[in-house]
């Protein structure tokens, strides 16, 4: 939803935009712990499959079971604390407001400007990440890539063949950056795991495997990013405006 808000930002008015953006950001944060532990659980299987030692596989499977227990605890806390119900209720309360949205201005210009703005932010963060691909920079860049991907999917009807292919490449980039982020979460969890394990060799080997996989997704993401962000932002905005014009002309 936040990607859609950013797409129509200039037509919503800054007060409305900030109100809705803050609202959806806060609802997302309410479920962040559950989201992170789920990411860890989904990241572990690839390491289980590639371990040659039965001890290593057993250790990782136990680690996964511990995480699954923690996820159940998070779910129970959400249910007992009414977090889920509150989030759902708040989201539903916004539906009526969303239905009544009216854009101030030409929709083609608004959406083109919104997509150009997110592309521009992603491009700037890509350049920052290219010069210093640390975990923080990769994560911040990922957010803008994800927004842009969702926006392209919304705009697919402008030119289905072209826009679908474009969105797919941005989706690939978003997913690779997402896998990199999940590996960072796992890497950050290792000190806690190491404290409960006497097998330093196993932990060290796991650290090396995580680092290798992280580098793979880092390299792949930066290479694809060079293609996706090759154009100047104004070119993206002008291209989308042209697509809107052709689509509108075809309806006349």
CATH number at residue 165: 1.40.20.10
Cα–Cα distance, 252 to 240 (Å, whole number)? 19
The pair phi, psi for residue 135, each rounded to 5°, is -60, -40
Is the Cβ–Cβ distance between 111 and 70 less than 8 Å?
A: no
Per-residue pLDDT, averaged over 58-84, amounts to 85
**pLDDT tens digits for range 118-147:** 999 999 999 999 999 999 999 999 999 999
Quick one: pLDDT band at residue 203, thresholds 50, 70, 90?
confident
Count of structural domains within the chain: 1
Domain span at residue 194 reads: 2-251
Q: Please give the pLDDT value at position 31.
A: 79
DSSP string over 184-233: HHHHHHHHHHHHT-S-HHHHHHHHHHHHHHHHHHHHHHHHHHHHHT-S-H
Is 138 within 8 Å of 221 (Cβ atoms)? yes
pLDDT at 103 exceeding the cut of 90: no
Least confident range of 27-31, 90-94, 136-140, 155-159: 90-94
Long-range CB contacts (< 8 A, 24+ apart) of 90-97?
90/23, 90/27, 91/27, 94/20, 94/23, 97/20
pLDDT by residue (tens digit) across 225-239? 999 999 999 999 999
């Amino acid at each position: 939803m936040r990607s859609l808000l950013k797409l129509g930002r200039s037509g919503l008015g800054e007060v409305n935009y900030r109100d809705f953006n803050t609202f959806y950001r806060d609802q997302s944060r309410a479920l962040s712990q559950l989201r992170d532990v789920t990411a860890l659980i989904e990241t572990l299987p690839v390491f289980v499959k590639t371990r040659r030692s039965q001890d290593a596989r057993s250790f990782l499977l136990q680690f996964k079971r511990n995480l699954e227990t923690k996820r159940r605890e998070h779910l129970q806390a959400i249910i007992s604390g009414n977090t889920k119900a509150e989030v759902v209720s708040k989201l539903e309360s916004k539906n009526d407001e969303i239905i009544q949205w009216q854009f101030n201005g030409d929709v083609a210009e608004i959406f083109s400007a919104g997509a150009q703005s997110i592309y521009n932010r992603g491009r700037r963060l890509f350049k920052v990440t290219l010069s210093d691909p640390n975990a923080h920079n990769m994560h911040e860049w990922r957010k803008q890539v994800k927004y842009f991907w969702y926006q392209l999917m919304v705009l697919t009807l402008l030119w289905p063949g072209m826009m679908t292919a474009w969105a797919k490449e941005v989706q690939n980039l978003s997913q690779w950056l997402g896998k990199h982020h999940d590996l960072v979460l796992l890497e950050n969890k290792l000190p806690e795991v190491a404290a409960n394990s006497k097998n330093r060799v196993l932990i060290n080997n796991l650290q090396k495997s995580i680092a290798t996989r992280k580098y793979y997704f880092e390299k792949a993401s930066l290479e694809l990013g060079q293609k996706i962000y090759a154009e100047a932002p104004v070119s993206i905005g002008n291209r989308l405006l042209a697509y809107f014009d052709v689509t509108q002309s075809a309806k006349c």
